[in-house]
């Protein structure tokens, strides 16, 4: 059985996220998602709209995802790869090179990002269209 692992915040879930999860799942037999906790996001100076529990609930409902685990810090990746017997670690190519240290433990693949969509773009679009930002 080939186990694939990816990480992310997966806030404001969109078709780019789903496409990443679908492509990652096709690389193996099971896909594990390390989901950034609210506390870890705070350490990264990142605030998610949805709570960890709600983001986890959403991810668990996606057919490509077999398991969701909490991502609590940057340093847990090696121990997660070992603990879950990960064969392939996958991230978007905007992270290219950042996780090459895992090549000692498993295959590392950086998948191309989906063009035209991102959580940042959604947030920017919503802020642009919000009446309070367009007041006279």
Q: β-pairing, 3-8 with 107-111? A: unpaired
Q: Is 46 a catalytic residue?
A: yes
Structure tokens at 90: 């996958």
Q: Is 44 a catalytic residue?
A: yes
CB 68 within 8 A of CB 89: no
Cβ neighbours for 17, distance < 8 A, ≥ 6 positions apart = 8, 10
Structure tokens at 85: 């017997």
Catalytic-role residue among 44, 72, 121, 123: 44
Catalytic-role residue among 46, 72, 82, 123: 46
Catalytic residues: 44, 46
């Amino acid at each position: 059985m080939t186990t694939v692992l990816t990480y992310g915040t997966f806030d404001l879930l969109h078709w780019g996220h789903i496409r990443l999860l679908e492509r990652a799942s096709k690389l193996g037999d099971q896909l594990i998602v390390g989901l950034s906790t609210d506390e870890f996001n705070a350490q990264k100076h990142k605030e998610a709209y949805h709570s960890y529990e709600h983001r986890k609930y959403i991810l668990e409902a996606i057919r490509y995802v077999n398991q969701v685990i909490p991502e609590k810090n940057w340093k847990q990746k090696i121990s997660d790869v070992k603990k879950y017997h990960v064969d392939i670690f996958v991230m978007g190519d905007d992270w290219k090179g950042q996780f090459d240290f895992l090549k000692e433990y498993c295959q590392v693949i950086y998948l191309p990002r989906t063009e035209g969509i991102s959580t940042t773009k959604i947030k920017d679009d919503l802020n642009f269209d919000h009446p309070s930002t367009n007041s006279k």
